[in-house]
Amino acid sequence: MSYTALRKMQEKNRELFSHDVGPVQPERHYDTIDHGLKAMALKFLHTRCEGLGFDADMGAKEKDGSYKGTSLLPDQIPYNMQMDINRLCLERELEKFIDSGVAEDAYTIYYCYLEMFFGHYGKSKKMVELLSEFESNGSSLLMKHRDHYSHSVYVFALGLAIYESNVSYRRAFKRFYGFDPDDENEEEDHAAACCFLEYWGLTSLFHDIGYPFELPFEQVLSYFEVGGKERGKGSLYIAYNDLNMITQLGDEAKARFTELYGRDFNTTEELFAFGVTEKLGKVYDFTEEYMTAKIHDKPVRPDSFGYFMDHAYFSAARLYREIENSIGVNRINEKHVDALTAILLHNSLFKFAISFYKDKEKHKEPLRMEVHPLAYMLMLCDELQCWDRTAYGRNSRTELHPMAADFDFKNNAVHAVYYYDKEEQEKIDDFKVKYRKWEDDGEKGKAPRLKAYSDMAEKEQRFTTDIEKIVDTTDIPLTVIPNTRAADRKSKHTYLSDSNFLHLYDFAVALNARYSYQGKEKDVATADLEKEFEDLSLEYQLSNINQAKNFARYLNALNCFYTDRPVDYDMIASFTEEQVRAIAPMEHGRWIKEHINMGWISGDLYETAPLPEDMIKRYGDEKTARKALREQLRMHKLAMDGDPDDAEIFAHYEALPYEEKIKDFEPFNSMLKLIKKFDGLRIYRLD
C-alpha cells in the first residue's frame, strides 16, 4: 500500500458507490527480483517514499469533504492524493528517462523535481534550460567535453538505487540526519527516504549547473591547445572578478544563517567554508581560514589550481541564489547548505585541496559516508556515471567511451558492466596489443591508453582505484568490467524536429490553451497562457509536455518538422483535416498508455452515478461536481484497462465516433496560432 492516499480515496469511493471503483494502486514497473539500476531506483520511489509531501494539517481541514488538492482544476481531490500522484509522475518519468537516456526525458525529471520541491518550475526554468543550450552550442569549441545534462539525471538515479539497495548507506544517512537507523521502523524509514529524495535530488540534479562559467575559460585555453601546447605557465586564461553579486548575502539571509549556526556570514564563500570545515576539518586536518582561502581562489586564481576553472564553485553559488529566490530565505535549512557544500566539493576541491588523492606523499583517506553523506554519494555516482554521454569536444568525439552500462546492486555491493561499441573492436584490439608489448618490455614509460576503456581494462584498474581513493568503498564494494556489444542507434528515436527546452515548455503551454482560445488567439497574452498552465496539477502539465515531445514523431509522419532555427522551408499555417486524422490515432495511443501508466481506469460512472447532495452543493452545480468525481475516481470513458497492444489501441480509436476522432482539428490549428506568440518555434513542411 505504498500510495496510501490513493487507497484511502478508493475506499471512500467504494462506500459511496458500492462496487469496485478507482483510483487503483499504480502497478510496479519493475521486476521484484531484479537488482539493476531501473528496478532499484523505481523501487525506492514506489515503495520507500510512502507519504512523500503529505500534510497532516491539510488532511484535517478536508474532513468535511472540501478538498484542497489540484487535479485538472483546484479543489477537486484530497491534497495528499495530489502528492501521491506527483510521486507517481516522478516514478513514471524516471522510468522513461532510464529507458531512453534522451535529454527531452531528462528535462521532465527536472520539471518534476522543481514543481514538487520548489513549488514552481517557471521561476527556475532558465537555470535548467540554459545549461543544456549553452553546453550543446558552446562545447564543440572545446578539446574535451561531454554532456552534463542527462548525466546529472543518471547520477540522480544511481543515488536512488544505491540508497535503496545498500543498508550501510541508509543507516549512515539516517544517523547523520537524526532518523532511527532501523529499517523496521517504517514511519522513520519513509520519512528518511523522503528527506533523501529531496536533498539528494537538489545535490545531484544541479551539481553541474555552473558549467556555463567553466566553458568560456576552457574555450580560451582550447584555442591554444589546438596547436599542441599544454596548459600551464604562459597560458592565456580568464578569471572572474567582482563576484559579490553572486556571493554577497543580504540582511535577511545573514539573519537566517545566524539563527541556524549562531555566527555571522557575509558571503556564501564564508558560509560554504564553514560548512565544509565543520564536517571535514578535523578528519582532514585543515582550518576554516585555509578552506576560505581555497574557495575564494577558485574563480580568481585558476593558475593556482593547475589552470583549471572549477564549475562546482559556480554550481554551488548559482544554486544558492536559486534556492533563495524560489523557496525564500526563511525556508533554507542546514540540509540545503549540506547539498551546496556537497556540490562545491565534488569536482576538484576535495580531491586536490583536501585529500590530495593523486599525491603519494600528501594523500589522505578517502571520504567516508558518515562524514558527509550527500558529498559521498555525489562523488561516487559522479564517477560511476560515464556511459551514454554525448561527446561535444573535438577530442572527446574521437575517444572511446562506454555507450551503456548494466548494474547489479545486490548484497550491498555495486557490480557494473560498461559496454563499448562493438564497431570499435579494432581500436580495442590495437590497445591490447600495445599494452601487452608494454608489459613484455618491462613496463617502461607510460602505459598505452585508450580512455576510458583502458582505465577499466588495464591491470591497474585506474577507473576503480581512482574511485576508491576518493570515497571509501568498504561498505559498498565496487566491481567494474568492460565489455562490448552492438550499438542500438535507433533506441533514441531521434527525428528531424529540434528545439531548445524553453520552446518545448512554450509548445506545451500552447497545446494546453488550444481548446480555450479558438478565434481569440491574437487577444490573449502569453503571461495569461502560462498562468493557466501553471495552475494545472503536475500530472496535467506533464501530459501537455509529453504531448509536445511526441509532436516530433507526429510531424515526422506528416513529412514535417518543427525548429527554432531559421530554415528555407515552407511554414505550416494550418493543418488539413487529413493531417489531423493522421496525427489523431498516434496521439490517442500516447494518451491511452499515459492513462494506464498513471493508474486511470475505464468507465463512465462519473457521468451516470447518482451524486450525493453535499457534493453538488460543495461544487456549486452538478456539471462541476461530476468533473471533480472523474478526478476522484481516476476514471475516464475513453480510457482502456489492462495492457493493450498497439493494434488493440488502434481498434479502440477506430471505434470512436467521428466527432471524437476529429475533435482536435480546430484546436490543433489554434495551437499553431498560439505557438507564434512565443519567439522562435515554427512548424515547416519538407516538400
| β-pair partners for 417 | 406, 481
Q: How far is CA 276 from CA 257, 273, 286, 305, 592, in A?
A: 15, 5, 10, 19, 50
pLDDT band at 272 (very low <50, low <70, confident <90, very high): very high
**What pLDDT is attached to residue 594?**
96
More confident residue, 136 or 273: 273
Domain count, the chain: 3
Residue given cell 540522480 in the structure block: 156
To the nearest whole number, what is the mean pLDDT of the chain?
89
Q: How far is CA 377 from CA 157, 195, 315, 355, in A?
A: 11, 14, 17, 16
Query: Cβ of 238: how many Cβ atoms within 10 Å?
Result: 12
User: CA nearest 421: which of 482, 480, 494?
Assistant: 482
pLDDT band at 493 (very low <50, low <70, confident <90, very high): low
Domain boundary among 398, 429, 460: 398
**What pLDDT is attached to residue 145?**
44
Answer whether 379's CB lies under 8 Å from 471's CB: yes
**What pLDDT is attached to residue 647?**
96
What cell numbers appear for 39 in the block? 528496478
Please state whether the peptide bond connecting residue 23 to the residue before it is cis, i.e. omega within 30 degrees of 0: yes
Q: Is residue 214 part of a domain?
A: yes
More confident residue, 511 or 266: 266
User: CA nearest 166: which of 183, 188, 154, 191?
Assistant: 183
Are 301 and 423 part of one and the same domain? no
Q: What is the largest CA-CA distance in the chain?
A: 90
Question: Lowest-pLDDT range, 215-219, 272-276, 341-345, 679-683?
Answer: 679-683
User: CA nearest 45: which of 112, 103, 92, 107?
Assistant: 92
Question: Counting every residue, how long is the chain?
Answer: 687
Q: Is residue 583 part of a domain?
A: yes
User: H helices then E strands: how many in the chain?
Assistant: 31, 8
Q: Is residue 90 part of a domain?
A: no
**What pLDDT is attached to residue 316?**
97
**What pLDDT is attached to residue 217?**
87
**What pLDDT is attached to residue 392?**
45
The answer, yes or no, to whether residue 396 has pLDDT greater than 50, is: no
Q: Is residue 474 part of a domain?
A: yes
Q: Average of pLDDT values for 633-639?
A: 95
Task: Give exposure, 369-399, as e/b (b: 16+ Cβ within 10 Å).
Answer: bbbbbbbbbbbbbbbbbbbbbbbbbbebeeb
Are 265 and 373 part of one and the same domain? yes
Residue 113 DSSP SS3: helix
Q: Average of pLDDT values for 484-497?
A: 71
| β-pair partners for 635 | 601
Residue 224 DSSP SS3: helix
Q: Is residue 547 part of a domain?
A: yes
Q: Is residue 102 part of a domain?
A: no
**What pLDDT is attached to residue 397?**
45
**What pLDDT is attached to residue 45?**
98
Q: What angle do CA 627, 632, 634 make, to 5 degrees?
A: 90
Q: Average of pLDDT values for 650-674?
A: 84
Q: Is residue 286 part of a domain?
A: yes
pLDDT band at 130 (very low <50, low <70, confident <90, very high): low
Q: Is residue 18 part of a domain?
A: no
Are 460 and 520 part of one and the same domain? no
pLDDT band at 675 (very low <50, low <70, confident <90, very high): confident
Read off the pLDDT of residues 69-127 as tens digits, 9 standing for 90 and up: 999 999 999 999 999 999 999 999 999 999 999 888 998 999 999 999 988 766 666 66
User: In percent, how much of the chain has pLDDT > 90?
Assistant: 58
pTM above 0.85, yes or no: yes
Q: In the sheet where 682-685 sits, what is the strand order?
A: 560-563, 682-685, 570-571
pLDDT band at 253 (very low <50, low <70, confident <90, very high): very high
In whole angstroms, what is the distance from residue 165 CA to residue 619 CA?
46
Return the amino acid letter for 171: R
Q: Average of pLDDT values for 443-468?
A: 86
Q: Average of pLDDT values for 329-347?
A: 97
- Residues 201/205/207/208 CA torsion (nearest 10 deg): 180
Are 305 and 445 part of one and the same domain? no
Are 371 and 520 part of one and the same domain? no
User: CA nearest 508: which of 492, 526, 488?
Assistant: 526
Question: Lowest-pLDDT range, 145-159, 319-333, 382-396, 546-560?
Answer: 382-396
Are 334 and 477 part of one and the same domain? no
| β-pair partners for 452 | 400
Residue given cell 544554486 in the structure block: 319
Q: Is 230 left (phi over 0), alpha (psi -120 to 50) or beta?
A: beta
Are 309 and 286 part of one and the same domain? yes
| β-pair partners for 407 | 416
In whole angstroms, what is the distance from residue 487 CA to residue 609 CA?
54
Are 335 and 304 part of one and the same domain? yes
- Orientation of helix 186-205 relative to helix 373-384, angle to 10°: 60
Are 435 and 305 part of one and the same domain? no
More confident residue, 398 or 148: 148
Are 460 and 556 part of one and the same domain? no
Are 506 and 468 part of one and the same domain? no
pLDDT band at 629 (very low <50, low <70, confident <90, very high): very high
Please state whether the peptide bond connecting residue 339 to the residue before it is cis, i.e. omega within 30 degrees of 0: no
The answer, yes or no, to whether residue 47 has pLDDT greater than 50, is: yes
Are 380 and 521 part of one and the same domain? no
**What pLDDT is attached to residue 142?**
43
Which residues span the domain enclosing 373?
A: 122-191+200-398
Domain boundary among 427, 456, 485: 485
pLDDT band at 495 (very low <50, low <70, confident <90, very high): low
Answer whether 243's CB lies under 8 Å from 299's CB: yes
Domain boundary among 398, 419, 444: 398
Residue 684 DSSP SS3: strand
**What pLDDT is attached to residue 123?**
64
